[in-house]
Chain A
């Protein structure tokens, strides 16, 4: 789950990370009031869950409340990478003398959280890693000990921070790590962490990704979810316990199991088609779940054919076949379909589909070829 900048920064502030004064608004009038209250130059920042806000014109400075209101009128409602701006953050504009990067991710190979710092703040860390990897200092954190002060100092001195700022920096790094752990984050990032003209450190921008699997113990964080993070179809899928990702192709697919679902997408491509989605109906899928999955697939107007690939183990092929027919009763369609059912109760499943005159296939390769041909109207 992604958090907005304002949500991330408010969390960081609870862990002794200094952030600019500011507030969130949904109307230009509110923006004016906030700017007036701050009583100084402000920055109006669109709150959308995508990168590249600045380049898209979604982050702008305003000298006074009038200008802030006018700018907010332009930013609110604009689209950035397809995402509508519904909220803006109005922060006091920082007096920036230097920009630093500070972030934490999980290093899967090391099986540890890793903290990274760089004197090249304000640009994407992936870009720094690609162009000047030597400018990134990394330390690996023991999950039981947490971030030790010496590790914070290593980062601070490693990026050439003046020695009088080191103590303040270490406190921020330790705060960020506690926020990371206590929120079950998979990423926590301050970019940039600025050194102001007065010599203070300030987290001007922040980002957090949370581990969805940890949300059961963070009710208040789960409440922060912005529905716009997912498409309406992805939300619908989540409600039914389905795992769905929309893609750009023309062949919808419904599969049990994530690995097999990916392999099914891949084989569609191998035989000249493009997958329209990833969809895993999970183990032991019942008829109603299959019906919901089919409705979601068919709601995509690009879909010109559908491929069912079910390897029955816990999932019974006859149950899936019933679900397909149930869904077709509810959502009549001209879209051609190819089914490949193998495993538990496959004979019963195939018979049910044969009665509905659906094309079937014995192997995945055959099913993919038939689905690609059917989608082309062959």
Chain B
């Protein structure tokens, strides 16, 4: 078992004819992901990496029974692509794109909340269920199947931690990057709830960062609803207030969203907090 993506995933790639889209389609295929369709408006009827390309998501879903999509579309067109996927009946939509305006994401998220579709991201590395399906841009080979569920706001920092987990003999059930933007489709709490229900997942690693209060709410959720152990790490302990640290959402505003308050929130509910990335895998290994 795992969450959100697995061997039954039938993936449509939105923006498959772009450089990124095509490159990562081949990477995902090489990992074993069942890529069934590509969509680029106006390129319907062509083929990329042996995959049929359609003009619209509706056509793609009708012809291939795709149930999951990944969006490699530029920021100004990405909200439209997400809404198109949801309208076509896609249940899990992963948006890699960085740079979508916040007000657009507020509308997209508000609309998706009334539909039976889950968005992961935007501005995220995607989801991987090791050995089954990779729907994202992460290096597949560092992952290995196992009991740790991993959820993170980051990209390469997640790879760093996965790499260390694998080296410590701890595989992953599913690893999810939820994205570094202020407004995202799926937050920590929703992923924690999925991991709590997943029989393969025995413990969870959560990687947060400065900005917003998602981690504080996650701590509250853990206290009330989680039986599986969680190990946390918060990036940005040395970040100055008022400065955006790369991710659009990584900013301490009005004195809120500091690493210190997030770490304290986790410690208060008994979640162990690592001081640096290398320590996460050690702490997780002690729980195994």
Interface residues of A (CB under 8 A from B): 106, 108-109, 111-113, 126, 129, 142-144, 181, 184, 186, 211-214, 216-217, 243, 245, 247, 255-263, 265-270, 274-275, 278, 280, 283, 311-314, 342-344, 363-365, 368
A293 to chain B, nearest CB (A): 13
CB <8 Å contact, B106 and A259: no
What does the 1/0 interface line of B76-93 toward A look like (CB < 8 Å)?
100000000000000000
| Interchain residue pairs with CB less than 8 A apart (24) | A109-B212, A111-B106, A129-B254, A143-B103, A181-B103, A213-B101, A214-B101, A216-B76, A243-B245, A245-B240, A245-B243, A256-B156, A259-B155, A259-B180, A260-B157, A261-B246, A262-B157, A262-B236, A262-B238, A263-B160, A265-B237, A265-B238, A265-B239, A266-B259
B residues near A186, Cβ cutoff 8 Å: 102
B207 CB–A CB distance under 8 Å: yes
CB <8 Å contact, A243 and B246: yes
Q: In the docked arrangement, what's the CA distance between A108 and B233, Å?
A: 21
B residues near A268, Cβ cutoff 8 Å: 238
Q: In the docked arrangement, what's the CA distance between A260 and B156, Å?
A: 6
B205 CB–A CB distance under 8 Å: no
Nearest A residue to B278, CB-CB: A365
What does the 1/0 interface line of B220-262 toward A look like (CB < 8 Å)?
0000000000000101111110011111111000110001000
B residues near A106, Cβ cutoff 8 Å: 102, 106, 182-183
What does the 1/0 interface line of B145-176 toward A look like (CB < 8 Å)?
00000001111111110010000000000000
Which residue of B106, B183, B210, B278 is within 8 Å of A364 (Cβ)? B278
Q: Which 5 A-B pairs have the closest CB atoms?
A: A259-B154, A258-B246, A257-B156, A259-B157, A214-B101
Interface residues of B (CB under 8 A from A): 75-76, 99-104, 106-107, 109-110, 137-139, 142, 152-160, 163, 180, 182-183, 207, 209-214, 217, 233, 235-240, 243-250, 254-255, 259, 275-278
CB <8 Å contact, B245 and A111: no
Q: In the docked arrangement, what's the CA distance between A270 and B276, Å?
A: 8
CB <8 Å contact, A108 and B163: no
A127 to chain B, nearest CB (A): 10
CB <8 Å contact, B248 and A213: yes
A residues near B180, Cβ cutoff 8 Å: 258-259
A residues near B233, Cβ cutoff 8 Å: 263
Known: A270-B275, A314-B137. A112 touches B106 (CB 8 A): yes
Nearest B residue to A245, CB-CB: B243
A residues near B152, Cβ cutoff 8 Å: 259
CB <8 Å contact, A213 and B75: yes
Q: In the docked arrangement, what's the CA distance between A144 and B244, Å?
A: 28
Known: A217-B76, A259-B152, A343-B139. A269 touches B109 (CB 8 A): no
Nearest B residue to A366, CB-CB: B278
